[in-house]
Amino acid sequence: MWTARRSQPDGNELSQFHSGASDSAAQRDRARIIHCESFRRLQAKTQVLGVGEHDFYRTRLTHSLEVAQIGSGICEQLRERYAANTDYLKWLPSMSQIEAICLAHDIGHPPFGHGGEVALNYYMQSQGGFEGNGQTLRIMAHLGEYSPHHGLDLTRRTMLGVLKYPVLHREVANYPIELAETTSNIDSYKPPKCIHDEDEAVLAWILSGLPDEDIQLFRSTQQQGDKRKAAFKGFDTAIMELADDISYGVHDLEDVLALRLVTERAWQDDVLSKLSGDDVISRALDFYNRKLFSESSTERKHAISKLIRYFLPEITIAAQQRFATPLLDLQVQLSAEAQTTLQILKDFVYKHVIRRPEVQTLEYKGQQLVLKLFAVLRDNPERLLPPAVLKRYQQSEYKERVICDYVSGMTDSYAIKLYHKVFSPDMGSVFDRL
């Protein structure tokens, strides 16, 4: 059942892709993701720092490539570790499968990162919501260009693997009762981790064929503070998320160090002082201090690569004993020491990069730009929407969703260009194509 595509009725044999390999269907998924428009647009979408600020650091595209490489490395390590455990081996994703999932995991992220995400959700919170991972599902299921009715038309296993939060917006949303009168601060409209309400049928298709008890439990939520969140994720998703976390904590750290955004004093105060003393960094303290803060990119890369190599063998498989379906029941986890070290690195990046005023200013500016673009397109669709988008808008029952899909698909640079074309009197030309 896991190789089925939405355009292919279940039970019918699928055509092979390039070869008779057992993961031929996953190879097709990977190819479609790599060649789709949404994946290419990641090259001009913000990862942590603004696109165009420097020629070194990562975009969403390079981040996704690195997550795919780490994800495949995790799977290879696990194959070696569990070579004698056939129950685990037969459910580990193939190289093509995990790469497809990792490459696709960010294709739904809007321009300007989480600032753009909150801006779109501000307008969509009463229309089924907007969340970057939920938009990824929409691209895979509806908007991708490989099928007129089924988007990228990927296999069920790939879609399950990318599905980080198997709950609907309405099941976890919690906003102020009245819409804010001003858009100068819309932090309270940060979206919950979910998929959009309109995609309930897609979720049902992904989980179809599983035992009812598994579906009900997998779709359950849990309370965390004042928020409700999805309680479970699939096996492939757990591998992808761990690869994503390692890339965020280690590769984004490399960007921070290369651009001299942190000092050795901050490294001492916010990383070294919080480590256990028996961790990978503390055991080779002189090496990491010298290499990470070296003027040489080769030296710095040596330390970054060594950190990545440390985390992968620290990953193990554990069965939850909660689900009858192995793809839901199996999970991966880091050793306690490795998990603590990774969290300290992630917190360091968050504090010294994401929360620094310069980065927040760029994110806020992008957020305000997205808010204004959405509003003017919503109020002037006949005037301002490109013909293909206008046609979908006119035919759709959910017109604001069409506007949202259009804006969320923009790169940072395209959104800026369109904004100036619409709002700046001395910018734009009739020869500029929308």
Binning pLDDT at 50, 70 and 90, where does residue 12 land? very low
Binning pLDDT at 50, 70 and 90, where does residue 160 land? very high
**Residues 108-158: tens digit of each pLDDT:** 999 998 999 999 999 999 999 999 999 999 999 999 999 989 999 999 999
Domain topology for 29-236? Hypothetical protein af1432 (1.10.3210)
| pLDDT surpassing 80 at residue 432 | no
**Exposed / middle / buried, residue 212 (Cβ in 10 Å: 0-12, 13-18, 19+):** exposed
**Exposed / middle / buried, residue 350 (Cβ in 10 Å: 0-12, 13-18, 19+):** middle
Residue spans per domain, the chain: 29-236, 244-357, 359-423
SS3 state of residue 279: coil
Among 381, 367, 253, residue whose Cα is nearest residue 308:
253
Q: Greater confidence, 422 or 356?
A: 422
| pLDDT surpassing 90 at residue 354 | no
DSSP 14-83: PPPBSB--TTHHHHHHHHHHHTSHHHHHGGGSBSSSPTTS-SSS-BHHHHHHHHHHHHHHHHHHHHHHTT
| pLDDT surpassing 80 at residue 328 | yes
**In the predicted model, what is the mean pLDDT of residues 197-210?**
96
| pLDDT surpassing 70 at residue 433 | no
**In the predicted model, what is the mean pLDDT of residues 353-376?**
91
Q: Tell me which of 213-222, 258-267, 412-421 is least confident.
A: 258-267
Q: Tell me which of 60-64, 164-168, 284-288, 325-329 is least confident.
A: 60-64
Q: How do strand 227-230 and strand 315-319 relate by DSSP bridges?
A: unpaired
Distance CA 166, CA 376 (A): 33
Share of the chain above pLDDT 70, in %: 92
Q: What is the pLDDT of residue 51?
A: 47
| pLDDT surpassing 90 at residue 253 | no
**In the predicted model, what is the mean pLDDT of residues 18-24?**
75
| pLDDT surpassing 50 at residue 95 | yes
Q: What is the pLDDT of residue 49?
A: 53
**Exposed / middle / buried, residue 366 (Cβ in 10 Å: 0-12, 13-18, 19+):** buried
**Residues 45-94: tens digit of each pLDDT:** 865 554 444 455 568 899 999 999 999 999 999 999 999 999 999 999 99
Among 403, 397, 408, 395, residue whose Cα is nearest residue 378:
403
Q: What is the pTM of this model?
A: 0.93
- Give the bridge partners for 223, in sequence order: 228
| pLDDT surpassing 90 at residue 15 | no
Q: Kindly state the tokens that stand for 301.
A: 């890369």
For the chain, give the mean pLDDT: 91
